[in-house]
Amino acid sequence: MQIDFIAILPEIILTVTALLVLAADLALRGDAKQFVNPLAGLGTVAAIIATVALWGSERVTFGTMYVVDDFAVLFKLLFLGTLLAILAISWRYIAEHRFFQGEYYFLLLTSFIGMLLMPSSRDLIMLFIALETVSVPAFVMVGMRKRDLYSSESALKFFLLGVLAAALMLFGMSMVYGFAGTTDLVGIAAAISGETASVPLLLGSVMLVLVGFGFKISAVPFHFWAPDTYSGAPMPVAAMLAVASKAAGFAGLVVVAFIAFEPVADVWGPMLGVLAVLTMTVGNLIALQQRDLIRLLAYSSVAQAGYILIPFGLARTGPGAAVVNAAAIEAVVFYLIAYAVMNVGAFAVAIAVERRTGLRSIADYAGLSGRSPLLAMGMTVFLLSLGGAPLTVGLWAKFAILEAIAVDITLFGIVLAGFLVVNSVIAFFYYLKVVRTVWMDEAPAGLPQLQPGFNLSAVVVVLMVGTLVLGVLPGLVTDFSSVISIVAAG
């Protein structure tokens, strides 16, 4: 069997980097240990270059198990970009809080290897392994603040729920395999569409598989881990879980839903649509009551997952479905990119504020505008964008979803659009509450000026500029995301 090593070059580079990081951590002593961070960053940049080189080509290797097309490349760039940002915001945080640094970066890179594999996988086994490679290092990273009881408990909760979701998903996968006789996604689609009558067991199995991904993206009945885990984990890890790990879940969900289960899209489409409504409504309503910023961001990320689920609710099968499905995938990818830019930014600001003061409740952000205008500006832009304000990328992301709905207007689509609009309005209440605290409230006496380090400032500035530039010129991304429709045809 011929292996196309160019196709898996980004993964190979990341693997080598992870092992180098581990070795470098052994060699370095004391304060020098923090320099494994730029090493990991170099590896990430190399992986980005290798990934960009793959754009425009379609490579299939390992049988048909691994496909690198534009869809996969776009997702890989999203993950690697997020990794770069997370490395930058981790540096000071991890060094100052005296974590096991080499091990932390090794686990982080390993988790991202799993993510890179996700959008390219065309096989149930590969998807399962990729998902577990994302999860297992994450379980450990969440529990890395060992002296903090809260961290230990949230890690255990995350772990137990994660393994339970994996078991449910595997049970579904095993039934799907029993039904189709193959683990190849295209083969499964062929086996399903070959069936004349719908088999209840098959539909049940499909639901179970979707549950596994629902956990990863923290859709509503499976979201209980998210707020506790985000607030218990080291903050860069929370950012990773909220953005990269969630995007990986969505990548897997797109692949498995739109390729393997495409013939039964009539069943899971409406179900995921209902899930989307539940997720955004519950997420937003609980977020309204939060007083801790990380918990607020956690519930807001639950709500955002609901928005991203809407296009899945539009999926259908039969004649004319390809156009609708392609538009849905496009909307998902564009929203995820926008979401990554604005949410990583929000977490970066939260880290900058917490790192100096150890404060994290929303009240502690009072008068941030006086203490650090840059961070205050950043927080405002990111939160307004998450809410979907004009001139930010968040608005276009919501437009992308509405556009996908408008491709073929149905009653269900209109209902989904209605919920999207109402929820966006609700969300503005809590985003604006934070913004008001930042700009209007008096800072409590005795709080020091904030001077975020170079890395954090750079991340905040880059992401802020990105949010605004994409808000004016969304074409910079949509030009790319509009050519990825091939996945629906596959």
Partner 1 sequence: MTGHDVVFVLVGLLTAGGAVLTVTSKNLMHAALFFAVTLGGIAGVFLPLAADFLALVQIVVYVGAVAVLFMFGLMLTRAPIGREALDGQNRGLAMAVAGGLFVVLSTLVIGAFGDLPTAEVTGPRIDDLGIAIFADWVLPFEVLSMLLLAALIGAIVLARRETGESGEELTVTRIEMAQDRDPDALEREQAALTSGSGGDGEEHA
Partner 2 sequence: MAIGYYFIVSALLFSIGLIGVLLRRNAIVLFMCIELMLNSVNLTLAAAARMWGGPDGQVFVFFVIVVAAAEAVVGLALIVNLYFRRGTLDVDVPQLLRW
Residues of this chain that bind partner 2 (CB under 8 A):
124-125, 128-129, 132, 136, 139-140, 143, 146-147, 149-150, 152-157, 159-160, 163-164, 166-168, 170-171, 173-175, 177-178, 181-183, 224, 228, 232
Residues 6+ positions from 142 with CB-CB distance below 8 Å: 151, 154, 155, 158, 229, 232, 233, 234, 237, 241
**Helical spans, DSSP H, in 147-184:** 149-180
Alpha carbons 298 and 165: distance in angstroms, whole number: 19
Binding residue for partner 1, selected from 43, 172, 214, 232, defined by CB under 8 A: 232
**Is the CB of 233 or the CB of 464 nearer to partner 2?**
233
Q: DSSP secondary structure string, 91-148?
A: HHHHHHTT--HHHHHHHHHHHHHHHHHGGGB-BHHHHHHHHHHHHHHHHHHHTT-TT-
Q: Shortest approach of partner 2 to residue 358 CB, angstroms?
A: 17
**Residue for token digits 């952000």?**
365
Most distant CA atoms of the chain, gap in Å: 72
Stretch that binds partner 1, among 200-208, 320-328, 342-350, 452-460 (CB under 8 A): 200-208
Alpha carbons 159 and 434: distance in angstroms, whole number: 31
Binding residue for partner 1, selected from 6, 15, 170, 468, defined by CB under 8 A: 15
**Is the CB of 148 or the CB of 441 nearer to partner 2?**
148
Binding residue for partner 1, selected from 27, 49, 53, 150, defined by CB under 8 A: 150
Contact (CB, 8 A) for 290 and 296? yes
Stretch that binds partner 1, among 84-92, 95-103, 271-279, 430-438 (CB under 8 A): 95-103
Residues 157-186 that bind partner 1 (CB under 8 A): 178-179
Stretch that binds partner 1, among 94-102, 441-449, 458-466, 474-482 (CB under 8 A): 94-102
Stretch that binds partner 1, among 100-108, 242-250, 327-335, 379-387 (CB under 8 A): 100-108
**Is the CB of 136 or the CB of 259 nearer to partner 2?**
136
Residues 101-140 that bind partner 1 (CB under 8 A): 103-104, 106-107, 110-111, 113-114, 117, 125-126, 129-130, 132-133, 136-137, 139-140
Q: Shortest approach of partner 2 to residue 236 CB, angstroms?
A: 19
Torsion region of 269: left, alpha or beta (phi above 0 gives left; psi -120 to 50 gives alpha): alpha
**Is the CB of 110 or the CB of 325 nearer to partner 1?**
110
323 binds partner 1 per the rule CB under 8 A: no
Residues 6+ positions from 7 with CB-CB distance below 8 Å: 54, 59, 60, 61, 66, 68, 120
Q: Please, is 490 exposed, middle or buried when counting C-beta atoms within 10 Å of its C-beta (0-12, 13-18, 19+)?
A: middle
Contact (CB, 8 A) for 10 and 76? yes
Show the site string, 404-443: x = touches partner 1 by CB under 8 A, - = not.
Answer: ----------------------------------------
Q: Shortest approach of partner 2 to residue 35 CB, angstroms?
A: 28
Residue 177 interacting entry, from partner 1, partner 2, none, C-beta within 5 to 8 Å by type: partner 2
How many chain residues touch partner 1 (CB under 8 A)? 66
Residues 282-321 that bind partner 1 (CB under 8 A): 282, 285-286, 288-292, 294-295
**Is the CB of 175 or the CB of 366 nearer to partner 2?**
175
3-state helix, strand and coil shares in percent for the chain, rounded to the nearest 5:
80, 0, 20
Q: DSSP secondary structure string, 465-478?
A: HHHHHHHH-THHHH
Contact (CB, 8 A) for 288 and 429? yes
Q: Shortest approach of partner 1 to residue 54 CB, angstroms?
A: 16
Alpha carbons 300 and 427: distance in angstroms, whole number: 8
Distance of CA 433 to the CA centre of its chain: 25
Residue 174 interacting entry, from partner 1, partner 2, none, C-beta within 5 to 8 Å by type: partner 2
Computed from CA positions of residues 25, 28, 29, 33, in that sequence, does the dihedral angle turn out positive or negative? negative
Alpha carbons 60 and 197: distance in angstroms, whole number: 33
Q: Shortest approach of partner 1 to residue 111 CB, angstroms?
A: 8
Contact positions vs partner 1 (CB under 8 A): 1, 3, 8, 15, 18, 22, 62-63, 65-66, 97-100, 103-104, 106-107, 110-111, 113-114, 117, 125-126, 129-130, 132-133, 136-137, 139-140, 143-151, 178-179, 199-202, 204, 231-232, 234, 282, 285-286, 288-292, 294-295, 358, 360-361, 363
